[in-house]
Each structure stands twice: as structure tokens, then as C-alpha cells.
Structure 1
């Protein structure tokens, strides 16, 4: 399963729907509307994970999609990998700004448990250099992430980081998150990105399935550019 997911991520583009709720019921409702669209990763967002824990992960495991637990691990990487495994998720996240020992701990245990590790670059000053280091440490995916607070304060989204994303995409699988919409996804199609994380544009819409369907259709028109 682990190698199958990696192989697909190297070839195909995926929509990751970020379920940043604090209650499982609306999260489950959105997931049920988008799960069957194809190439959809369901993200159990950090607020939902903190609120609902392993039970929330297991509930969303009812869908056959790839499930990402946005743990944003900052310490005890091996322990948090075990939590993710108990919830039967496929991918966990670790903060790329943390010490190498935390990343290595998460990677080591996650591999034993057949879980992928994504390093989140939120808060990292030199994204390109740190991404190279993180790939060497064994992470499967590097995620560019412009957080909500930065979006509000600086008025930027992940779509403003094209050059850094292009450079990091030469070295491994890339995910992007932060203020993405169908329109901004269009502007990122020709960059080596495997995962496009969309939250509010889908979850706050009156028609989440329609928005997700539009993005999936856009992504299906492209494969990953050759590195």
C-alpha cells in the first residue's frame, strides 16, 4: 500500500480536501460528498485531529481514499506515528522546522508501520535548502504551507511561491497548501506538484462537491512534469 501511494503521487495530481473542523459530523458530511471523485485525499485537519483523536480518524477511514492525519508532529515522532497507525491513516505530517532527530524518529517508525511522512515547511525560512535536507532524512513528501495567520497578515498564498516550489519539485514529491482555489490551482498546473490542498474553498462552500469536482477535473488534465 505504501509503495502504491508513492508511485501514484509521482505520476498523478491529487486534490487533498482539508477538513479543518472541530466536530466529526460536518467533516464526515463533506468527506462523503467528495470521496468518490477520484484522486481525492481526505485530510483530517489538525483541529479535527485534536478534537476527535483516533476515533475521528477511524470514522473517516470508512472511505477508501488515502487518509492524511495532519499531526504537525513537533516531538516524539515515533509515538505520533503509532497514534496515526491506530487511526489507520496513510500519511502523517511532521514540522520541517523541528530538529532532525524528531523527523528521523517519525520516518523510522512510520516506515515500520507502512505510513508515509510529509514534512510541513510552515515557519521554515529557507524552504529550498531545508526541503533538500528533509528528503535526505527520508520524508516521502515535502509540503509548502502558507498558514492562515500569514495569509491574513501578509496577504499571500502558496501560489506566490512558484519559484521555490519549482526548485524543490526537482528533488521529490511536493504538496502545496494555503489559500488555494480552483482559479489558483489552474496557475500551478505546470509545476511539479503532486498534492493540491484545498480547505475553505470547498468546506465553506454551499456546494462542496461541485467545487471539488471542478478542481479534480482541472488536475486530471495534467500529469506530473518530468523532473
Structure 2
């Protein structure tokens, strides 16, 4: 299982410094939507060249203009870009085609989607499907239970990522379960007093 660390709501210089610090330890560095909205692709276009181990995910949450946004995101050297699964199937088709053409990855964010909606987008076989518990939601989220139910409902989907309040205990449980490709951690690492030490702790429990 891979560890992805989400960096959100930080100044540009802190974001870049933290990404570089985490690079040797984690598998994927995610630049969160808030950072991208604040500073844009232009400010982030040189970040990938400063990462020597981790993949770079830009959480752009594409809703429309899929072809344009994914080309722009990959031009900014992202390895993985995100699209909202609830959007028009045509948008997902365009983003998927760009990702395939560039030999990069598309991450489908399943936030707030019903089982019926997800069933209509299972044809993107190389995409990463992200079970994403909303930051604003007050509902409880049980990661391993959610993954087990998702796997049973959609056995054809092989690439699963999980995000939403993940801690060391839930990360370890997900790793033991063996159904998740990527575990996504935000505040428990990026918001900790010592992000590098926290990242190492997570790596120890999932590997």
C-alpha cells in the first residue's frame, strides 16, 4: 500500500518546502485543491523537478473542461490528476483519454456519489477510484468497512484509494486488509508538529 500525503491550506513557500521534505519518505505528495486555487499551475510547475522519489498529485477536482484542465495539469508535470466522479461521463472520458495518452494516472474522486452513480463509471479500468470522506461532513467514517463494502459491490475496480481522517490505527488496518492501493493522510502528517517524523510512523505501520 502506498502513502499519499495531502498538503492543504498553506502558503506557497511552506507547501513547496514540506513537499521536498516529505519526498524521500512518502510515495505520493498531494498538492491540495486550496493551494492550487490560491497559487495555480504556474507557481507549481517546477515542483516536480524538485521531487526525486515521490509522485506528484495535483488535486484539481475537475468538474468540466476535462481535456483542457488535464492537459494543463500534466503540462505542470503532475503524475496524477483528480476529477470528480459525479460529473458528466463525457468529462471523465476526456480526462481519462488525456491521462492514457500521457501515460499518467486519473484519480476519480467519489465524494458524495451513490452506488448507482458509481456503477455507471466502472469502465475506466486504469483509473484510481478514491473513497473520499468529506472534510465538511459530520458523519462517522469507518475506512476498512467502507473499503470492504466497496470491493464487494464493485469487484471489477482494482485501484482504490481512501481519504478522510486517516490515523495510524486505521492506516494499519487498511494495510492488513489488503484491498487498498493508496491511503491518503492529510492533517495527521502535514498538520503535525513534525511532519517528517509522522510520515515515517505511517510508513512503518503500512509497509
Give the alignment's TM-score, normalised by structure 2.
0.89
Q: CA deviation at 1:47?
A: 0.5
C-alpha distance in 2 between matches for 1:76 and 1:63: 28
1:142 equivalent in structure 2: 129
1:31 equivalent in structure 2: 19
Q: 2:164 aligns with which of 175, 178, 186?
A: 178
1:118-197 maps to which residues of 2 (within 5 A)?
118-126=107-115, 130-150=117-137, 153-156=138-141, 158-159=143-144, 161-167=146-152, 168=154, 171-189=157-175, 190-197=177-184
2:199 equivalent in structure 1: 212
C-alpha distance in 2 between matches for 1:138 and 1:162: 18
C-alpha distance in 2 between matches for 1:141 and 1:79: 20
1:97 equivalent in structure 2: 86
The Cα offsets for residues 156-200 of structure 1, whole Å up to 9 and x where unpaired, read as 354552432433465211110000011211121213101000000
Structure 2 residue runs of 5 or longer lacking an equivalent are: none
SS in 2 for 1:49: helix
1:81-120 maps to which residues of 2 (within 5 A)?
81-120=70-109
SS in 2 for 1:42: strand
1:52-63 maps to which residues of 2 (within 5 A)?
52-61=39-48, 62-63=50-51
- The alignment status of 1:40 with 2:27, answered yes or no, reads yes
SS in 2 for 1:136: coil
The Cα offsets for residues 111-170 of structure 1, whole Å up to 9 and x where unpaired, read as 2222211111001021xx5445433035511000001111xx224354552432433465
Q: CA deviation at 1:87?
A: 0.6
Structure 1 residue runs of 5 or longer lacking an equivalent are: 1-12, 221-227
C-alpha distance in 2 between matches for 1:29 and 1:210: 15
1:225 equivalent in structure 2: none
| Higher helix proportion (structure 1 or 2) | 1
1:79 equivalent in structure 2: 68
